[in-house]
Amino acid sequence: MASDTETHRDLINGLKTAMGKGDGSFEQAVTRAFEHVFDHLDRLNSHVSLGGPGGQDRPLQPGESETLR
């Protein structure tokens, strides 16, 4: 994920540039930023989820809280 550094800088600069314009560009910049965040979360989830990349929930381990998922 560190290879996305330039993309992250571009997204932040886009947000800063669009702030306060009132022309819809800020909303577009926020949408692009969230789409990128969700891409990261999808990749992360597919690597750590024992349920698999299809998003299935795995059974709770003994003593595991649902909030720790």
For residue range 27-38, list pLDDT tens digits in order. Answer: 999 999 999 999
pLDDT at 40 > cutoff 80: yes
| 33 contacts 15 by C-beta, under 8 angstroms | yes
Sequence ranges of the domains in the chain: 1-47
Collapsing DSSP states into helix, strand and coil, what is residue 69? coil
| Mean pLDDT over each residue of the chain, to the nearest integer | 81
HSE, side-chain direction, 13 A CA sphere, residue 23: 5
Specify the pTM.
0.62
* Residue-level pLDDT at 13: 97
Q: What is the mean pLDDT of residues 42-61?
A: 66
Collapsing DSSP states into helix, strand and coil, what is residue 37? helix
* Residue-level pLDDT at 50: 59
